[in-house]
C-alpha cells in the first residue's frame, strides 16, 4: 500500500512538474525573446538619423496641409530606420510595436479617457443649454473683441493645473463668446495654446511642476522650479505678448487673414473644418442657465485636483505639495473627469435639466467630437516612440555634453535653442526636460549658482517653446481640439507669433547669462517685445480698421 502510494505521489509530482514546465516554457521563451528585443540596437541609434522621421513628418504636414498621412509617413520612415530596412520587421514595428503599443500604454490610455470624458462634458453643457446661457451672459458683459480675447486669456491663466485640462476647458467655455464677437477659431486656439503650457510651466502647483521636479535628482526639485520662474522668459513674454497685441489690435502673418475673414463673418477661413458638425453651442435646452455650465467646470476642476493628489499619496499621509509633485497626471485626470461627469449627470437629473437618456446620448457625441484629436495624438505618440527607439535623446545629450565646455555665460541661450529644436522635432516638452535638465545640472552642479538656475529655466522655456510650435505636440493638438480649429490652420497661424517670442527670449537669455539678474533681463526682454509689437503695428495697422476698409 505504501509502495503504491509512493508511486502515485511520484507520478503526480512528475505529472505536475511536466505540466508546470509545459506551461512555463512559452513564458520563458517569450521572456528570452523580450530580453533579446531589449538589447537590440538599430544601426542608426543615437545619430542624426534619429531626428529625421519627425522632421519628415513636420515638413510634409506643412507642405501638404494634411496631418494624418504626414505623421504616418514619419512613423514608417522611423520603423524602416529602426528595423534596418527589413520589410517584415518594419510592418511589425509600425503596428504592434508602434500604434498598438502607444494605444495600450497606460499613461496614453488615461489621457484618451480624459479626452473622451471632457468631450462628453462639453456635449452635456451644450445640450443642457449652459454654453448658450453663458454666451448670452457674456454678450451682456463683454462688449468688444478685445474684451472677449482678454477674458479667454484670464480664464487660461486661472486654469493652471494641467495643460490638457486647460485647453479643453477654456475652449468649451469661451468658444460661444469668441464666436459671437467674430474671433477666428485660429486666434482662439492660439490664445488657448499660449495660456496652457506657458502658464503651467510657471505655476508651482501643476502637473508640469511635478514633472520638472522629478527630473532633478538629489536636489529639492520644487524649490529649484520656483527659483527658475523669474527666468522663464518664453512663458512670461508669451503671456505679455498676447495682452499687448490684444490691446493694440495687432495681427500679422496668416493670423491676420483669419482675423480679417472672421470680422467679416467667416471664423474658419479655410474649407477644412473638422469640428463644424460637432454640435452647435446655441442648441440645447432653452431654459439652461449659466449654472449649467459652471456645475460641470467646477466639478471637474475640484475632482481633477483631488484625483491628482490621490495618485500622489495625499490620502496616505503625504502633504499637498509632495502629493502633487508625485502625482500621476494621466490617472488623476481620468479619475477626476469621470467623477466630475458623474456629479454633473446627477445634478442635471436632480434639477431636471436633462433626462437620463439624453445625458447618456452625449457619450458617443463626446467621443465623436474628439476623434480628430485622438487620431493625431495616437500618431504623434507613435512617432515619438520611433524617435525614442532610435536614440534621439542620447544623440542630443551627447551633442550638448561635448559642446558645453567653455560656453559659460552663453550656455543658457544655447540650451534654450537646443531645447526648442528638440521639443519641436519630437513633440514632447517633458521628454526634453528629461534630457537637458540633467545636463544643465551636470555643467552647473551648485544649485545656488545663478547660471544653474538660469540654465534649468532655459531648458523649461525652450521645451515649452518647441512644444508650442510643433504640429506633433500633444498640447498643440489639444489646443486645436479646444478651439475646434483645423489643426494645421492652428499651427501655421501660431508659428509666426511663437517664433517672434522665441527670438526675443533667446536674446534675453544671452543678457541673463551675463547680468545674472532675472529682473534686469526680464525688463530688457519686455522692452524688446514692446518695440517689436509697435513696429508690427506700424506696418500692419489696426486689424479691425483694416478689415473694415477691405471689400
- pLDDT-derived band at 40, boundaries 50, 70, 90: confident
| Best mean pLDDT range from 248-262, 265-279, 406-420 | 248-262
Specify the pLDDT at position 403: 54
Specify the pLDDT at position 28: 41
- 217 contact partners, CB below 8 Å, separation of at least 6: 438, 441
Specify the pLDDT at position 222: 64
What are the Cα distances from residue 179, in Å, to 123, 171, 338, 384?
17, 11, 29, 35
Q: What is the average pLDDT value for the chain, to the nearest integer?
A: 80
The grid coordinates of residue 433 equal 526636460
CA-to-CA distance for 366 and 500, rounded, in angstroms? 36
Average pLDDT over residues 423-449: 75
- The phi, psi pair for 190, rounded to 5°, reads -65, -45
Specify the pLDDT at position 21: 40
- The phi, psi pair for 182, rounded to 5°, reads 55, 50
What are the Cα distances from residue 280, in Å, to 115, 137, 275, 367?
19, 17, 10, 16
- 54 contact partners, CB below 8 Å, separation of at least 6: 74, 383, 384, 387, 425, 426, 427, 472
pLDDT value at 52 more than 80? yes
Decide: residue 315, CB within 10 A, 0-12 exposed, 13-18 middle, 19+ buried: exposed
Please tell me which residue, 142 or 204, carries the higher pLDDT value.
142
Closest CA to 432 of 212, 180, 210: 212
- 115 contact partners, CB below 8 Å, separation of at least 6: 164, 168, 370, 373, 374, 377, 481
Specify the pLDDT at position 395: 79
Specify the pLDDT at position 26: 47
What are the Cα distances from residue 76, in Å, to 92, 187, 387, 428, 471?
11, 33, 12, 19, 18
Specify the pLDDT at position 79: 92
- pLDDT-derived band at 211, boundaries 50, 70, 90: low
Please tell me which residue, 500 or 96, carries the higher pLDDT value.
500
CA-to-CA distance for 446 and 452, rounded, in angstroms? 7
Average pLDDT over residues 199-207: 76
Average pLDDT over residues 5-22: 44
pTM over 0.75: no
pLDDT value at 475 more than 90? no
Instruction: Give the DSSP per-residue string, 487-535.
Output: HHHHHHHHHHHHHHHHHHHHHHHHHHHHH--HHHHHHHHHHHHHHHHHH
What are the Cα distances from residue 91, in Å, to 75, 88, 95, 99, 434?
10, 5, 6, 11, 30
Specify the pLDDT at position 387: 81
- pLDDT-derived band at 523, boundaries 50, 70, 90: very high
Kindly report, residue by residue over 300-344, the tens digit of the pLDDT.
Answer: 878 888 988 898 888 888 887 778 767 777 788 789 889 999 999
Please tell me which residue, 127 or 22, carries the higher pLDDT value.
127
Kindly report, residue by residue over 80-95, the tens digit of the pLDDT.
Answer: 999 988 888 899 989 9
Please tell me which residue, 277 or 171, carries the higher pLDDT value.
171
Kindly report, residue by residue over 372-386, the tens digit of the pLDDT.
Answer: 778 877 887 888 788
Look up cell 528638440; give the residue: 422
CA-to-CA distance for 478 and 422, rounded, in angstroms? 20
- pLDDT-derived band at 408, boundaries 50, 70, 90: low
- pLDDT-derived band at 35, boundaries 50, 70, 90: very low
The grid coordinates of residue 547 equal 478689415
Torsion of CA 340, 344, 347, 351, to 10 degrees: 160
Cβ atoms within 10 A of the Cβ of 106, count? 9
pLDDT value at 545 more than 80? no
Decide: residue 500, CB within 10 A, 0-12 exposed, 13-18 middle, 19+ buried: buried
Specify the pLDDT at position 174: 86
CA-to-CA distance for 541 and 334, rounded, in angstroms? 45
Cβ atoms within 10 A of the Cβ of 271, count? 6
pLDDT value at 206 more than 70? no
The grid coordinates of residue 447 equal 544649485
Average pLDDT over residues 413-424: 87
pLDDT value at 210 more than 70? no
CA-to-CA distance for 150 and 137, rounded, in angstroms? 16
- 359 contact partners, CB below 8 Å, separation of at least 6: 124, 345, 348, 349
pLDDT value at 457 more than 80? yes
The grid coordinates of residue 295 equal 456645475
- The phi, psi pair for 516, rounded to 5°, reads 55, 35
Specify the pLDDT at position 5: 43
Q: What share of the chain has pLDDT > 70, as a percent?
A: 83
Kindly report, residue by residue over 116-142, the tens digit of the pLDDT.
Answer: 887 788 788 878 888 778 777 877 788
CA angle 77, 48, 423 (to 5 degrees): 85
pLDDT value at 524 more than 80? yes
pLDDT value at 436 more than 80? no
Average pLDDT over residues 49-61: 82
Specify the pLDDT at position 186: 92
Specify the pLDDT at position 176: 81
The grid coordinates of residue 470 equal 510643433
Cβ-contact 160, 206 below 8 angstroms: yes
CA-to-CA distance for 29 and 52, rounded, in angstroms? 35
Please tell me which residue, 512 or 330, carries the higher pLDDT value.
512
CA angle 95, 430, 253 (to 5 degrees): 90
Closest CA to 332 of 354, 307, 297, 355: 307
CA-to-CA distance for 332 and 304, rounded, in angstroms? 6
Amino acid at each position: 500500500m505504501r509502495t503504491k502510494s509512493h508511486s502515485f505521489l511520484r507520478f503526480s509530482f512528475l505529472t505536475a512538474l511536466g505540466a508546470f514546465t509545459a506551461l512555463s516554457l512559452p513564458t520563458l521563451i517569450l521572456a528570452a525573446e523580450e530580453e533579446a528585443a531589449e538589447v537590440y540596437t538599430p544601426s542608426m541609434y543615437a545619430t542624426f538619423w534619429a531626428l529625421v522621421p519627425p522632421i519628415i513628418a513636420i515638413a510634409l504636414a506643412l507642405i501638404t496641409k494634411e496631418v494624418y498621412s504626414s505623421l504616418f509617413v514619419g512613423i514608417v520612415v522611423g520603423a524602416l530606420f529602426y528595423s534596418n530596412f527589413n520589410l517584415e520587421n518594419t510592418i511589425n514595428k509600425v503596428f504592434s510595436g508602434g500604434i498598438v503599443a502607444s494605444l495600450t500604454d497606460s499613461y496614453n490610455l488615461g489621457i484618451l479617457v480624459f479626452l473622451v470624458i471632457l468631450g462628453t462634458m462639453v456635449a452635456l453643457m451644450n445640450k443642457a443649454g449652459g454654453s448658450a446661457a453663458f454666451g448670452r451672459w457674456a454678450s451682456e458683459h463683454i462688449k468688444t473683441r478685445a474684451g472677449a480675447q482678454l477674458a479667454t486669456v484670464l480664464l487660461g491663466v486661472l486654469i493652471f493645473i494641467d495643460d490638457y485640462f486647460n485647453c479643453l476647458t477654456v475652449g468649451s467655455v469661451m468658444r460661444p463668446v469668441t464666436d459671437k464677437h467674430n474671433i477666428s477659431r485660429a486666434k482662439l486656439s492660439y490664445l488657448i495654446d499660449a495660456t496652457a503650457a506657458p502658464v503651467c510651466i510657471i505655476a508651482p502647483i501643476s502637473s508640469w511642476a511635478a514633472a520638472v521636479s522629478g527630473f532633478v535628482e538629489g536636489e529639492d526639485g520644487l524649490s529649484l522650479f520656483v527659483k527658475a520662474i523669474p527666468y522663464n522668459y518664453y512663458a512670461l513674454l508669451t503671456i505679455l505678448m498676447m495682452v499687448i497685441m490684444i490691446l493694440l489690435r495687432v495681427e500679422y502673418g496668416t493670423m491676420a487673414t483669419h482675423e480679417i475673414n472672421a470680422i467679416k463673418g467667416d471664423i474658419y477661413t479655410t474649407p477644412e473644418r473638422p469640428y463644424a458638425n460637432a454640435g452647435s453651442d446655441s442648441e440645447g435646452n432653452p431654459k439652461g442657465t449659466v449654472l449649467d455650465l459652471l456645475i460641470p467646470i467646477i466639478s471637474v476642476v475640484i475632482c481633477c485636483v483631488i484625483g491628482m493628489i490621490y495618485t500622489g499619496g495625499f490620502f496616505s499621509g503625504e502633504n499637498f505639495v509632495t502629493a502633487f509633485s508625485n502625482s500621476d497626471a494621466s490617472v488623476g485626470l481620468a479619475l477626476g473627469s469621470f467623477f466630475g461627469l458623474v456629479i454633473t449627470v446627477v445634478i442635471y437629473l436632480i434639477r431636471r435639466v436633462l433626462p437620463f437618456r439624453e445625458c447618456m446620448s452625449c457619450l458617443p457625441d463626446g467621443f465623436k467630437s474628439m476623434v480628430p484629436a485622438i487620431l493625431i495624438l495616437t500618431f504623434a505618440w507613435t512617432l515619438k516612440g520611433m524617435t525614442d527607439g532610435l536614440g534621439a535623446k542620447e544623440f542630443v545629450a551627447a551633442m550638448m555634453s561635448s559642446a558645453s565646455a567653455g560656453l559659460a555665460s552663453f550656455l543658457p541661450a544655447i540650451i534654450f535653442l537646443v531645447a526648442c529644436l528638440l521639443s519641436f522635432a519630437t513633440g514632447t516638452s517633458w521628454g526634453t526636460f528629461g534630457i537637458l535638465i540633467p545636463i544643465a545640472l551636470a555643467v552647473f552642479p551648485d544649485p545656488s549658482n545663478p547660471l544653474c538656475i538660469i540654465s534649468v529655466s532655459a531648458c523649461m522655456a525652450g521645451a515649452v517653446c518647441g512644444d508650442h510650435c510643433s504640429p506633433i505636440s500633444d498640447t498643440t493638438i489639444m489646443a486645436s481640439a479646444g478651439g475646434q480649429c483645423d489643426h494645421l490652420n492652428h499651427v501655421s497661424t501660431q508659428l509666426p507669433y511663437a517664433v517672434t517670442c522665441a527670438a526675443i527670449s533667446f536674446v534675453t537669455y544671452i543678457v541673463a547669462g551675463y547680468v545674472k539678474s532675472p529682473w534686469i533681463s526680464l525688463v530688457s526682454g519686455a522692452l524688446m517685445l514692446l518695440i517689436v509689437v509697435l513696429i508690427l503695428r506700424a506696418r500692419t495697422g489696426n486689424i479691425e480698421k483694416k478689415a473694415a476698409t477691405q471689400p
